[in-house]
Chains A and B, each alone.
Chain A
Amino acid sequence: MPIPLTTALGKVVRRAALARGGGSAFPGLFVERLDPSYVRRVLATLPRGVVVVSGTNGKTTTTKIVVDLLESQGLRVFTNRTGSNFVRGVAAALLGAVDLRGHLPADIAVLELDEAHAVHFVKEVAPRYSLLLNVMRDQLDRFGEIDHTARMLQSIARATTDAVVVNRDDPRLGAQAFAEGIVGPALRSYGTSIEVSARFPSDDNLYGGSEGAPHPAPAVYVDDTQLDSFEGDRAQISYAGGAHSARLMLTGVYNVLNATAAIALTRAVLGDDLREPQMLEALSKVRPAFGRGETLQIDGQTCAMVLVKNPAGFRLALSSYDPADTATMIAINDNYADGRDMSWLWDVDFGSLRAGGVTTVGGVRAYDMALRLQYDDVPVGGVTPDPERALEEFLGATTGQDKRIYCTYTAMLAIRKVLGTKGALDKVIA
């Protein structure tokens, strides 16, 4: 079916779905059924091809940074938004971006894809570049085990035509065997200096107890981008024999590593055409993605929302933020999108919260969380499963204090909604 026809029909369906308040799932499904090769053919028109970003943690933030960095180079970038990181979501996002003739006004596409969806996607559309972030245990456990997840990322790399950028510090992605299985595209990597690596425990470090052990990379990568050091909001990132200092609005050690990943990818895409000052300037202006280390202003105090999805992410978040002088709330839901299994909370060490305690514990599984804190000797102020009441209690108990809320995905949505309706939210400041 010709692109303009599918586009016209798809846009009608999309408009109808939007008018009824529906999401992007149906229009995406409609296009997929009507014209299975539509996504492939539209993306094939992009002069600089497709970038796939995949891995367990940090996809959304990293994709956002990559988009900003590529735009700083004058490229027009098409991207899929949060929550639609599957093939159908890409189709739906395309319908919103193409003109009536089905022409996509972009130079390059940057797509965040779940590992399992990416495997199918790359069979349809061979990415020119892929960025592989990490393989972590995830309580959603959609794939059974992480060795299997690593194999999925390898098949994404194999389907890539020009360059694959890999987190060399990840024990599975940085392994010799992983790299050896990728023939064809150039192999590039990013990672941290030995000094900084102690602040990035890998998944195996978390479980095996050898947290912070330095991890030398295999010597198979033709090009490295490295996070040398960071302190406060300043990071030093080096590549091609030079070190570069950047000031960041992003908070959290893992976001600084995501920024390093984004630089590595941008360098791979631009090659010698890279305009470095513009890239570093753009990097300093990147704001966190929705709910991922966002800072809000509530009644004159700052309130940081920190999304926690799995044990490695939660531990990194706890080690990223100093709990001193900040009131803490934790909200844990167990809806499908959060993962039903609470076991993961037992793989997170909450010892850093012992001194200050946790003012309020909320969410459907608030008592599971309170129980977890009890076993780490962390004092708990109150336990209130209902998110709205929990938030009210938290705000009431912490007037005049800065606040930080660790929350799972659906708990974050509930809390954001309450903040919006209460008018408690002055503004989003970072």
Chain B
Amino acid sequence: MSEPNLSSTEKIKQASDSLRGTIREGLSDDITGAISEDDRALVKFHGMYLQDDRDRRDERAEKKLERLYSFMIRLRLPGGLLSADQWLATQDIAGEHSTGIIKITTRQTIQLHGLYKSHVKPTIQAFNEASLHSIATCGDINRNVICSAHPKQSPLHGEVHAFAFKINELLLPKTRAYYEIWLDQEKIADKKEEEDPLYQDRYLPRKFKIAIAIPPNNDVDVFGNDIGLIAIVENNQLKGFNVAIGGGLSSTHGNPATYPRLGTIIGFVSGEEKILKTIYEIVTIQRDYGNRSDRSLARLKYTVDKMGVEWFKEEIVRRTGFPLEKEKPFQFSERKDYYGWFQNQDKHWYYTPFIENGRVADTEQVPMKTALYEIAETRKLNFRFTANQNVILSDILPEDKEEIDRILKKYGIEEYTASASPLRQNSMACVALSTCPLAFAEAQRYLPSLISKIDPLLKKHGLQEEEIILRMTGCPNGCARSYLAEIGFIGTALGKYNLQLGGDHAGMRLNKVFRESLEEPAILEELDRLFAEFSKEKKKKESFGDFAVRKHWV
């Protein structure tokens, strides 16, 4: 199919010699910390963004210095699993090459910020030594595949989790560019070796996200993904998955053609071969029919709405050769992480500490980084990241629990986790300023202090035990899934946020804008008023989001 007006990114991808571009030349250009505009689009496919410290633009311009460029690198960790040795390596790499802070993302992986150009290659090589890579963790391609995190959730957790790995493998690109550019592997002689029947030379029109949820916990926000898989378990057996398509949370301020959308369940599929085939063909349909001229309308959700859900279902059958079954009943009731100690059916122990906005650092409040390093040094656990920006210290044998517990106590981690208010424990924020180029407003640097002002309001109205899901993003692209929060803040300008209300506890309903572009005093005033009403008139077990809808606030 030929499209009349391919976007510039489409042209860059197609002309890139399988994502090589001039990245190699750009790395050796030592008069700038940046790389060319075209290569900036390509390094995303290698797991990096070129960013700059927006706080320092003016100061540096005055000094006749270019912007303070640095790279963000994101790892590929299907299902969010990392060994203790890999965690140690990551912390060492972060200390040597980046800001030293590890950011746990909202998609079960980790990223490092502030890598100067000369540090990128050594970083990737060091990750490679630890059997870690960053292939296709950004860019127009299938991203990290996420899966409900906590093994206590189901005896079948391991079986479901394995699908994250299988889907991940299925949808990796074939190009050897990553290995040549970053790991100095030899150039392949025969181009046929990297022929890519799935991505061809154009990849996808836009990013592509897949999540697997195990009811009753929808911690992955399965309906916010291009493909959402809901594990159906009957009689302690994994029967298969309900398949939802076309979820996606980004929108653009001032462009009414863009909107957040929940995934639509199109049926049920069972059997590994059929499951993988179905997913593969959904991706090929998006490859062939997605919008390649306007990137703001290129996600799968717009393709689904443009072509129609029924057409999409039929097209899947045309491509797979088998029909989807009728969707199976399921029930989500929550989206939270289970803080503290839990044991699964195999008698393994799990501890989830609270890590505010996923930033693993040593702060005045808690030496999280030091503690996690020492815990990893025992090598008696795995690390599992959650879609709520936390880590689960995992798979700890009963005889090792005490040793790890002792370290947690030594650094005050348990105390810190217990002392975080329910509101704080159920909050998320994206990176935003100063490094995200998309941000209009602060998020992770600001939300902690805002919560410190909201908590007293909850207390004032006797609501301090309410587990209200609150999320903040610095722009409407929704990285921290603010459109699925009970209280969502979406940055519109520095210090100003749209206040969104009405999301539910289970992630089945988008919120809506309640007030536009509020500054902090107005935010607090509105919330104070809303909390008063909620406190007085809430029904038993009624959540804040449900109450907002019942009251027609939105």
> Do chains A and B stick together as partners?
no
- A binding-site residues for B, Cβ under 8 Å: none
- B binding-site residues for A, Cβ under 8 Å: none
